[in-house]
Structure 1
Amino acid sequence: MSLRTQLTEILPPLLPSNPSEAIKGTELIRLARLQLNGAYSDASLRYHFSIMSCDPASPIAKVEKGQGYYRRSAPVPALTGAQELLSLSQGRLDDLSSDHEAVDSALERLRKFRAVVTRYYEVNGRFPYVFRQAFAQGASLGNLWKFPEVVLVDWETGDAPDEVFALDPTMLSLKQRLGLPPFRLHAARLRIHPSLASFREDFFQALSASMWAQGGELIYAAPVEDEALADGLRRLNAIFGVGVISFGLTAQALDDLPRAANILNAHPRETEALMDRLQINRIAAPHTRQHIDWQSLDGLRRESEEVQHLIGWLNDCVGKGRAEAFRDEA
Structure 2
Amino acid sequence: MSLRSQLSDLLPSLLPTNPAEAIKGTELIRLVRLQLTGNYSDASLRYHFSIMSCDPGSPIAKVEKGQGYYRRSAPVPALSGAQELVSLSQGRLDDLNADRGAVDHALERVKKFRAIVHRFNEVNGKFPFEFREAFTSGSPLGNLWKFPEMALVDWQTGEDSEEEMSLDSRMLNLKQRLGLPPFRLTSARLRIQANLHSFREDFFQALSASMWTQGGELIYAVPIEDEALADGLRALNSAFGVGVSSFGIDIETLDDLPRAANILNAHPKETEALMERINFDRIAAPRHRQHIDWNAFETLRRESSEAARLIDWLCNCIDKGRAEALRGE
TM-score band, normalised by shorter chain: over 0.9
Structure 1 gap ranges (5+): none
Report the alpha carbon displacement of residue 169 of structure 1 after superposing the two structures with TM: 1.2
1:108–1:151 CA distance, 2 compared to 1 (3 A): same
Aligned to 1:210, what secondary structure does the other structure show? Answer: coil
Report the alpha carbon displacement of residue 112 of structure 1 after superposing the two structures with TM: 0.2
- The answer (yes or no) to whether the contact 1:83–1:139 under 8 Å persists in 2 is no
Please show how residues 37-116 of structure 1 align to structure 2 within 5 Å. Answer: 37-75=37-75, 84=84, 90-92=90-92, 95-116=95-116
* In structure 1, C-alpha distance between the alignment counterparts of 2:11 and 2:94, rounded to whole Å: 24
Report the alpha carbon displacement of residue 254 of structure 1 after superposing the two structures with TM: 0.8
Structure 2 gap ranges (5+): none
* In structure 2, C-alpha distance between the alignment counterparts of 1:192 and 1:57, rounded to whole Å: 20
1:133–1:95 CA distance, 2 compared to 1 (3 A): same
- The answer (yes or no) to whether the contact 1:77–1:95 under 8 Å persists in 2 is yes
* In structure 1, C-alpha distance between the alignment counterparts of 2:249 and 2:266, rounded to whole Å: 19
1:256–1:162 CA distance, 2 compared to 1 (3 A): closer
Which residue number in structure 2 is paired with residue 323 of structure 1? 323
Please show how residues 1-330 of structure 1 align to structure 2 within 5 Å. Answer: 1-75=1-75, 84=84, 90-92=90-92, 95-158=95-158, 165-327=165-327
The code of the aligned residue for 2:279 comes to Q
* In structure 1, C-alpha distance between the alignment counterparts of 2:247 and 2:72, rounded to whole Å: 20
1:12–1:88 CA distance, 2 compared to 1 (3 A): farther
1:261–1:294 CA distance, 2 compared to 1 (3 A): same
The farther-off stretch of 85-94 and 13-22 is: 85-94
CA deviation vs aligned residue, 1:275-316 (integer Å, no higher than 9, x gap): 000110000000000010000111111111110011011111
User: Aligned Cα RMSD in Å?
Assistant: 2.1
1:62–1:193 CA distance, 2 compared to 1 (3 A): same
- The answer (yes or no) to whether the contact 2:164–2:325 under 8 Å persists in 1 is no
The code of the aligned residue for 2:113 comes to F
Report the alpha carbon displacement of residue 145 of structure 1 after superposing the two structures with TM: 0.5
* In structure 1, C-alpha distance between the alignment counterparts of 2:163 and 2:149, rounded to whole Å: 29
1:163–1:299 CA distance, 2 compared to 1 (3 A): closer
1:162–1:148 CA distance, 2 compared to 1 (3 A): closer
Q: TM (normalized to structure 2)?
A: 0.94
- The answer (yes or no) to whether the contact 2:64–2:225 under 8 Å persists in 1 is yes
CA deviation vs aligned residue, 1:127-147 (integer Å, no higher than 9, x gap): 000011111122111011010
* In structure 2, C-alpha distance between the alignment counterparts of 1:197 and 1:52, rounded to whole Å: 14
* In structure 1, C-alpha distance between the alignment counterparts of 2:95 and 2:230, rounded to whole Å: 27
CA deviation vs aligned residue, 1:102-138 (integer Å, no higher than 9, x gap): 1111110000000000000000000000011111122
1:202–1:179 CA distance, 2 compared to 1 (3 A): same
The farther-off stretch of 84-93 and 111-120 is: 84-93
1:57–1:287 CA distance, 2 compared to 1 (3 A): same
1:289–1:232 CA distance, 2 compared to 1 (3 A): same
* In structure 1, C-alpha distance between the alignment counterparts of 2:299 and 2:115, rounded to whole Å: 28
Identity %: 73
Q: TM (normalized to structure 1)?
A: 0.94
- The answer (yes or no) to whether the contact 1:85–1:106 under 8 Å persists in 2 is no
- The answer (yes or no) to whether the contact 1:97–1:103 under 8 Å persists in 2 is no
How many residues align? The count is 327
The code of the aligned residue for 2:25 comes to G
Report the alpha carbon displacement of residue 83 of structure 1 after superposing the two structures with TM: 6.0
The code of the aligned residue for 2:126 comes to R
CA deviation vs aligned residue, 1:149-168 (integer Å, no higher than 9, x gap): 01110103235789971011
